[in-house]
Structure 1
Amino acid sequence: MSEDSKQRAIVIGSGFGGLALAIRLQSAGIATTIVEARDKPGGRAYFWERDGHVFDAGPTVITDPDCLKRLWALSGQDMARDVDLVPVDPFYALDWPDGTRFDYTNDETRLMEQIAALEPRDVDGYKRFLDYSEGVFREGYEKLGTKAFLKLTDMLKAAPALARYQAWRSVYSIVAKFVREEHLRQAFSFHTLLVGGNPFTCSSIYALIHKLERDGGVWFAKGGTNRLVAGMVALFERLGGTLRLGDPVTSIATRNGRASGVRTASGWSADADMVASNGDVVATYRLLDHARGKSEAKRLAKKKFSPSLFVLHFGLEGSFPEIPHHMILFGPRYKGLLGDIYDRGRLAPDPALYLHHPTRTDPSMAPEGCSTFYALAPVPHRGRADVDWQAQGEAYAETILDTLEERLIPELRSRIRTRFHYTPADFESDLFAHLGSAFSLEPVLTQSAWFRVHNRDNEISNLYFVGAGTHPGAGIPGVVGSAEATARLMIDG
């Protein structure tokens, strides 16, 4: 087939979902151009270099590496050519204000010893929870994770399995059914926060994350998540794909009820046989030059959106081998804090933190003798709490530093050599994220599978969606799975 006769696709946005989709399309012989608003690829997986430190914006937890390796295998290549993945153990070190510490690890003996130390009866309970997690992993991830839910009948076919695993229940309530001890209940339910879900309202199907981690491990790309992005870009460009950076799409053109191409802020425009968006779903529909754009944006804007994040990046003098790669510092409250974030729109004075310490695994991400960190706190999105982050951001950063000094690094402030923070306002301005949400639509049952934004628009048959707002949802495995579902629709026509 000549270049002129090839089908042409445009993918808006170069997050993991957009890159994975573009690789699949290009591997199938569809001439694909990615159009990215920012000066670097990656979407939420952006990065900065400050004073010799490399700061990943996130995500930093890589699970199910096989879903990534399959992208290279499409063209008979090996991911190891472009990306060096190394295992992280423990997966997370969990820490509570009362001094309790739990290393969530894949070492079965060590894991069971820790569970028994907190509550001996929960050893058998945990094993039953793991069996449950394996079941929902099989039904929710292996069978449905790369399936497009375009019709209600698709959902009805999945309903018996969802009912069998009580999908209407929350992850926390399922964990509590098997496990008695409160620290353990938190340890085995917090994972939904990594995809924007409240453990007390997120569908129990998301308990599959536990099995996903146990089977596939937790990994880190040497050099940072940005090196995984760079590896995907290298693969895409070797396949002949085109990446256009620093040029936001300002409109999606339509002709005769079909998407016909895009126009960008620079005035550049291109025609295409199909258009896919890895951007925010509300923002994408607002770009659509068609009556459906306005109506769908209005409809979606009324849905429940995930919280946002406040992320404090900092580089320190010295090394901290005692601090693991991933830590969760739970606050004094669990359900109450989540209620502040998801329901009451209150900026909590006692945040829970995810602490990322990449130099524990890869010292090259900081100057010699120094360390790179970020501390992430879930916070309400801008529709729930309209905080003036320009005025309050510095104060909230100090709140986080207080927590870290009190519980982990007593001399932290005296060691800081560089720092900056990223707020919900930045998610909104940099990523066009509706309300500054960090994970798009909240993953409750009534906004999952068929109830989520479809991988293909119902009326404009060559307009497609990929990423956190579509099925199956946020997280690297989720958005890479959505890319497989969307690519299948685009390639099959």
Structure 2
Amino acid sequence: MQKKIIVIGGGFGGLSAAVRLAAKGHDVTIFDKRDKLGGRAYQYELDGFKFDGGPTVITAPYIFDDIFEAAGKSRHDYFELKPLDPFYRIFNSDGEYFDYMRNEEDILKQIDRWSPADKKGYLKFTENTVDIFSLFHPYTDKPFLTFKKMLNIMPGVIRLGAYKGTYRHVRKYIKHKFLRKVFSFHPLLIGGNPFDTPSIYLLIMQFEKEWGVHYAVGGVGSIIEGFRKLMDDLGVKVRLNSEVERIVVDHQKVSAVQLKDGSIHEADIVISNGDVAFTYRNLIPESSRRKYSNRSIDRKSYSSSLFVIYFGTKKRYLDSKLSHHNIIFGKEYKKLMREIFKGSKLPDDLSLYLHMPTISDESIAPDGCELFYVLSLVPNLKANINWEEIAEEYKDKVLSYLEEHYLPDLKENIVTEHYIDPPHFQNTLNSHYGAAFSFTPSLLQSAFFRPHNRSEEFDNLYFVGAGTHPGAGVPAVLSSGKIAAELIDPTPQNGAG
């Protein structure tokens, strides 16, 4: 039976759920507060440059393929993915780098340059990550609604040491200090501290090895545009510049959403692709909630935030030592991680992710220009940092560092720039405390212990996105859309198009 379904937010999770449910014949409407779809993957177009706002690392293309095939379409007709190798170029504080490649032999050659004695340990480490992946991958696109399911996986978690902090786990196999950072940084991609995040999340590493790391030609915005065209084909209604102010609750069920303009839109099902903490805390009266009180929400552990600078230069930097994806470690890594995740002030040191997509795709910038985005991990808004006062100074600090170490004469060659900071994550992206990845990926905030894809408060309210199972990162967020869609309508997909 056809249901009227409202999706709040047009990020990857909401788009995934909307397509799957529309393909099954449901009446789906997406409401998004911004002028374009994408959520974290919003694309800024400035002076002829196309800057991807958030995720840039695309793995597991089969997940995209499955979504389009569910609608009887081919993903290849909507957008193009280009494999990258190396996946990442990882720099130490002296500017020396390790190329993180897909092929095992290539990785071993890289290790040989740094610490030949660690090759044997790396092979054992790889066996362990394959075992972790084999155990947990089947759960990444299935709901985790019962504690019994959690109990089922715990023997494997213990046997594989997957409960240990990632860095500590890697240290067991790798002796060289820089290589330990190289093989333990993946939690940073989902807002976790490598020294705390359980090594169960090393399955991300295996996702990359299994299916590669890809670039979306035209930027991640081309994926969002592909989804938009697909949803047009399926009859999904998209309402932009339409901010949801309230979810209407009626006797422990949700019945409608109310927009900022006061209009009420009824629904049989509501899916929130908004931040889970924000959704409960700001869209539903506390008196209607039993488990997720404001106090319980505020006491949860939240991920880091981000300071991101998007900039375009009138000069190409093809003679630099940079690659497409670059990770630049600072001098005091462990101290920096502690200050980002547990501190109350802005750290002095920097660890940066520098994206240089024009090295792979000149079409996203004017002729003869280079496009960059540099991301710095910073504390979320639980820390007492006045970003209104220091944002410009911090931006200058990051750009000065890049100019001194990687991009000569950078500042005089910048022709356009834009930045986002923790208040942007809170006020524009509706992330509680400005946490860029929602709840931290700790053992007690994963799987069953993470807010469920079907609300524990209301039977017809569902969640997709980084704050629910299976967590942050593009593959996980897309999978959350599949989980929610199959909970709502478990009938087999008919591939309707």
Deviation readout 1:450-482 (Å, 9 max, x if unpaired) = 110011112311111111000110000111111
Give, in whole Å, the separation in 2 of the partners of 1:347 and 1:297: 30
Q: 1:65 aligns with which of 61, 69, 73?
A: 61
2:473 corresponds in structure 1 to 475
Aligned to 2:205: 210
Deviations 1:113-163 (CA, angstroms, capped at 9, x unpaired): 11012111211111111111111112222x110121112112112222222
Distance 1:114 1:277, change over 3 A: same
Preserved CA contact (<8 Å) 2:312 2:416: yes
Distance 1:424 1:458 in 2: 29
State the secondary structure of the residue aligned to 2:292.
helix
* 1:73-472 correspondence to structure 2 within 5 Å: 73-141=69-137, 143-285=138-280, 286-289=282-285, 291-293=287-289, 296-298=292-294, 299-321=296-318, 322=320, 323-383=322-382, 385-472=383-470
Q: Secondary structure at the match of 1:486?
A: helix
CA drift at 1:289: 4.8
1:261-284 C-alpha deviation (Å, 9 max, x unpaired): 111012232111111101011211
TM-score, with structure 2 as normaliser: 0.95
Instruction: Give distance in 2, aligned partners of 1:294 and 1:366.
Output: 50
- Checking the alignment, whether the CA contact within 8 Å between 2:20 and 2:71 is kept in structure 1 is no
Q: Is the contact made by 2:31 and 2:239 (CA closer than 8 Å) also made in structure 1?
A: yes
Pair 294,265 (structure 1): closer, same or farther in 2 beyond 3 Å: farther
Query: How many residues are aligned here?
Result: 487
CA distance in 1, matches of 2:229, 2:135: 34
**Contact 2:291-2:456 within 8 A present in 1 as well:** no
Instruction: Confirm or deny: 8 A CA contact 1:253 1:289 kept in the other structure.
Output: no
Q: Which amino acid in the other structure matches residue 19 of structure 1?
A: L
Matches of 2:286 and 2:5 in 1, distance apart?
Answer: 19
1:18 deviation in Å? 0.8
> Contact between 1:283 and 1:297, CA under 8 Å: does it hold in 2?
no
SS of 1:33's partner is strand
- What is the identity percentage for the equivalent residue pairs of Structure 1 and Structure 2? 41
1:35-64 per-residue CA deviation (whole Å, 9 max, x = no partner) reads: 111111010111211111111111000011
**Once structures 1 and 2 are overlaid, which stretch shifts more, 439-448 or 225-234?**
225-234
Contact conserved, 2:309 with 2:374, CA < 8 A, in 1? yes
* Pairwise CA distance, 1:173: 1.0
Which range moves more in the overlay, 27-36 or 105-114? 105-114
Question: CA separation in 2, counterparts of 1:372 and 1:80?
Answer: 25
Report the alpha carbon displacement of residue 343 of structure 1 after superposing the two structures with TM.
1.0
Note the C-alpha offset of 1:375.
0.5
TM-score computed with the length of structure 1 as normaliser: 0.96
Deviation larger for 373-382 or 85-94: 85-94
Change (3 A) 1:295 1:250: farther
One-letter amino acid of the structure 1 residue matched with residue 359 of structure 2: R
Decide whether the 8 Å contact of 2:249 with 2:288 is kept in 1.
no
- TM-superposed deviation, 1:422: 0.6
| 1:26 correspondence with 2:25 | no
Equivalent position SS for 2:488: helix
Q: Deviations over 1:404-428 (max 9, x none)?
A: 0121012111111111211001111
Partner of 2:495: none
- Between the aligned partners of 1:137 and 1:486, the Cα distance in structure 2 is 23
Using the TM superposition, give the Cα deviation of residue 290 of structure 1 relative to its aligned residue in structure 2, in angstroms: 6.7
The answer to whether the 8 A contact 1:97-1:407 is kept is: no
Tell me whether 263-272 or 77-86 shows the greater mean CA deviation.
263-272
Deviating runs (4+, > 6 A) in structure 1?
none
